[in-house]
Structure 1
Amino acid sequence: MSAVPVSAEQSPQKAVIDRHGYLFGQKIAASMSPQFHQTIFNDLGWRWEQFRLDSADIPSFLQLLQDPKCFGSSVTMPNKVAIMEHLDEMTEECREVGACNTIYFRPEKDTPGGRRKLYGTNTDVVGVRESFYQNIEDPDRVFHNKPAMVIGGGGAARSAVYALWKWMRATQIYLVNRDQAEVDAVIRECKAKGYGDSLVHVATVEQAEALAAPGAIVACVPDFPPKTPEEKTARAVIETFLKKESKGAILEMCYNPTPYTELGAIAGREGWRVILGTEAMIWQGFEQSKLWTNLELKDLPVTKCKTMVAAKISEPSRL
């Protein structure tokens, strides 16, 4: 086995803890996941901890998961797709979105003395869903049985499409993105999995003007001002929808380094309800903790976790 990419001070063997888990990915130094879950474990009085595992070494990671004291792992880029072939079972969300962001165990299904089976799911889709249902008082009025819109063409956009189609009663889903090839890939993959027929690529302002306003928008792009012609066209399409008379809610998934984005500000000025991207992180995190702890949401410190996240995102402005 190759060297485990965990620092000595982070080693679960050296810490006085009962159970440990991982955040497995790269460029994860700024992730709030370990602190979020630590808030939960501390409130429960459990000596559990999630360690950052900055790596793409899947074979070593798979061996670490076999430790009986490991409760599971968050999985982030670039490992969300690559890990799937190593799972024993996966949920419908994981399979249909084509990405795994959470690994958990079901000891009652393991063979005594045998290898621990790995179960995978995708809680990002729950994060999108709950961001709306936990913040919008009247979903029937705001976004049920209306078109929706997804901005972007990556993994987060796929999770958003699935949540809007599966749970949020979107009648149609507009896709807006600077890259035609990315949009084509999303539509192709979603159609292959049975939920792509409602997707419509909106590429021009003229198209946007002719379409009904969306009730829910999920923005899955970085917070950069548009510079290229393609980016400027995509922004113009978005603003055309935002200026329509009917207003809804927009989830701005970008929250690093700040959840207060340029696109969110534009939407707010146009009268849209803006939901910060930290909400998606919070609600997908609770879904992970439910799987790892076998507790229900009512047993978890929701207010404490929200307070922690709010304090964390306010740090840059204080600095």
Structure 2
Amino acid sequence: MATTQIVASPSVQGTVIKRPATSHLDRTAYLVGNPIAHSQSPVLHHAIYSSMGKRWGQLLFETDDLAGFIRYLKSDPKSMGSGVTMPFKVAVIPYLDELTEAGQAVGAINTIFYKNGPDGQRKYVGTNTDVLGIRDAFLNNVKGTPFVGKPGLVVGGGGTCRAAIYALRDLLGCSPIYIVNREKSEVDSVIDEYTSKGTAADLIHVATVTQAENLTPPGITVSAVPDFAPVSMNEKVAREIIETFLRRRNGASPLLEMCYHPSPDTAISRLATESGWQVIGGIEAMIGQGLAQARLWSGMEIDDTLRQQVSRKVKDSLAEKHRL
């Protein structure tokens, strides 16, 4: 896997953190972020490792002290690595020794894994498996690849937006990529980042309904925003743009709704269904990115049987959680 060396690494001095209970596990991975109590990631990883007959697992590490967590991660002899979620997907980068090609291209990290350097010392490597989760959610649920060569639409402006751009363009062959978001500054930040890498030529910020009406309709969409009713003028305009694009779908038109908590039944998924889009639940992307993490942490190979077993257990757990 291609990597990019990071030159600067800050001190990891921080406050003492209460260690999660790990005595029941032979090896552990973590998920660091805040808030993360709702995460299904530990359920996913338990399903993966229990299927292998291993006493391995993932623990939630909810904290505001990223530096303290990194210090703890480096001191834990059982650790396989860590997942990284908001608000640390960008903030974690300076603490790492290297980034993979995907991590560098996306500019947001959701996975830390280890490798040994030439001197035998452990290196902490950051990558982004969200891109694989998004890719696989489409490839595993859409017949053929009807979206190749068509425009892609990304709704949002955060770390998942960056991963979606990379997945749609670099892994699924979609171009150009339209970006719709309530905050122009967030889109500007994304495009500026890609501009600095010389890869922003086919990124288009769609800021008005008129603009959406005159562009070639998207053939594939990733919605990466929370489910909320638009209140501000910016939010209302963004929703109108999304509705315009959804009404003007291009062919089979699959839409991945990344929001699945507290419910996968979102306003955008309902609009998409009413307009004839094939809606794919975000749990599919979560499962795909988690399986990719497990491969990096354990070296295990992922086959269809394992994927189906894990998918069934996670979806059953999520359905029970929603029922309660």
Task: State TM-score, norm by structure 1.
Answer: 0.91
Q: Does 1:192 align with 2:196?
A: yes
Code of the aligned partner of 1:168: L
How big is each residue's C-alpha offset from its partner over 1:185-228, in whole Å with a ceiling of 9 and x where there is no partner? 11111111222110111122211111111111111111112222
Unaligned runs of 5+ in 2: 1-13
Work out the number of aligned pairs and report it.
309
Assess, with a 3 A threshold, how the Cα gap between structure 1 residues 45 and 169 changes in structure 2: closer, same or farther.
Answer: same
Once residues 51 and 323 of structure 2 are traced to their aligned partners in structure 1, the CA distance between those partners, rounded to angstroms, is 27
Residue 167 (structure 2) aligns with: 163
Q: How does 1:67-86 map to 2 (within 5 A)?
A: 67-86=76-95
Residue 99 (structure 1) aligns with: 108
* Contact 2:154 2:165 survives alignment (8 Å): yes
* Contact 2:89 2:159 survives alignment (8 Å): no
Residue 135 (structure 2) aligns with: 129
* Contact 1:204 1:237 survives alignment (8 Å): yes
Assess, with a 3 A threshold, how the Cα gap between structure 1 residues 204 and 63 changes in structure 2: closer, same or farther.
Answer: closer
Offset, 1:299: 8.0
Code of the aligned partner of 1:3: V
Assess, with a 3 A threshold, how the Cα gap between structure 1 residues 291 and 171 changes in structure 2: closer, same or farther.
Answer: same
Residue 250 (structure 2) aligns with: 246
Runs of 4+ in 1 over 6 A off after TM superposition: none
Offset, 1:49: 2.0
Aligned partner of 2:48 among 40, 46, 66: 40
How big is each residue's C-alpha offset from its partner over 1:69-92, in whole Å with a ceiling of 9 and x where there is no partner? 211111112222222112112101
Residue 302 (structure 2) aligns with: 297
Q: How does 1:1-319 map to 2 (within 5 A)?
A: 2-6=15-19, 10-12=20-22, 15-66=23-74, 67-107=76-116, 109=117, 111-112=119-120, 114=121, 116-139=122-145, 142-244=146-248, 246-247=250-251, 248-298=253-303, 301-319=306-324
How big is each residue's C-alpha offset from its partner over 1:54-102, in whole Å with a ceiling of 9 and x where there is no partner? 1232333233333332111111122222221121121011112112111
* Contact 1:38 1:49 survives alignment (8 Å): yes
How big is each residue's C-alpha offset from its partner over 1:247-276, in whole Å with a ceiling of 9 and x where there is no partner? 411111111101121110110111101011
Once residues 95 and 210 of structure 1 are traced to their aligned partners in structure 2, the CA distance between those partners, rounded to angstroms, is 33
> SS of the residue aligned with 1:297?
coil
> SS of the residue aligned with 1:45?
coil
* Contact 1:123 1:288 survives alignment (8 Å): yes
How big is each residue's C-alpha offset from its partner over 1:88-138, in whole Å with a ceiling of 9 and x where there is no partner? 12101111211211111124x3645x5x22111111111111111111111
Once residues 98 and 38 of structure 1 are traced to their aligned partners in structure 2, the CA distance between those partners, rounded to angstroms, is 29
> SS of the residue aligned with 2:92?
helix
* Contact 1:100 1:120 survives alignment (8 Å): yes
